[in-house]
Copies of this chain bind each other. A is one copy, B any other.
Amino acid sequence: MKYTDKLSQRVIKVSNHIIVGLDPDIEKIPHIFLKYKNPVYEFLNRIILLTRDKVCGYKFNLAFFEYYGIDGLEALNMLLKEVPEGLLTIADAKRGDIGNSSEMYAKTYFEKMNFDAVTASPYMGVESIAPFLKYEDKFVYLLALTSNAGAEQLQMLKTESGYLYETVIKLFREKFPENTGYVFGANHLKEIKHITKKYPDLALLIPGIGAQGGSKQDIENNINNNLYLMNSSRGILYSADKNCTDSEFDEKVIDAVNRI
Contacts and interface: CB of A to CB of B under 8 A. Distances in A.
Contacts of A168: 154
A122 interface: yes
A160 interface: yes
A166 B107 CA distance: 33
A105 B164 contact: no
A198 interface: no
A96 B61 CA distance: 13
Chain multiplicity (copies): 2
B123 A123 contact: yes
Interface string A99-120: 1111011011000100000000
Interface stretch (A5-13, A125-133, A214-222, A244-252): A125-133
A122 B143 CA distance: 12
Interface of A: 23, 61, 63-64, 66-67, 69-70, 73-74, 77, 92, 94-102, 104-105, 107-108, 112, 121-128, 143, 146-155, 157-160, 164, 167-168, 171, 207
